[in-house]
Structure 1
Amino acid sequence: MAETAAWEYRVLTVGRWTGTQDEDLEAALNELGEQGWEAVNVFHREGSPKLTLVAKRPLTPGARRRRSMPGEITP
């Protein structure tokens, strides 16, 4: 039987109090992409000039071990 894919997720808010510039969004997306993340959703909260990105990437065995170790916080 095929193994079900496991994912890890990251949420990142970009922008400034004056609004979100295309360059800010592009820089955030490029940085996520270089780290192996794929943006799966972008949303705007009412009353906020910022955008929130939701990204995912496959959960590797190393990341799975780090996440299961109690008391440790990983970036």
Structure 2
Amino acid sequence: MNYTYMMKCADGTLYTGWTTSVEKRLKAHNEGKAGAKYTRAKRPVELVYYEGYATKEEAMSREYAIKQLTRKEKLTLMDF
């Protein structure tokens, strides 16, 4: 399974990515150097939204689509 996810950073910003394991990715963002450079200075991060997909390509495509949304649209998506 592949996932597109959104995390809320300590400063209130949102980060979107894709992964094969949401739990491992959350841990990487919060603890290790394997997390995104963007989130390293904005810890801790918390998982606020995710969607599952059968293929990596679908998850990556959805990640791109979410990144094109406005902050307001992302917040609405999280409330769904």
The TM-score, its normalising length taken from structure 2, stands at 0.28
The structure richer in strand per residue is 1
The structure richer in helix per residue is 2
The TM-score, its normalising length taken from structure 1, stands at 0.29
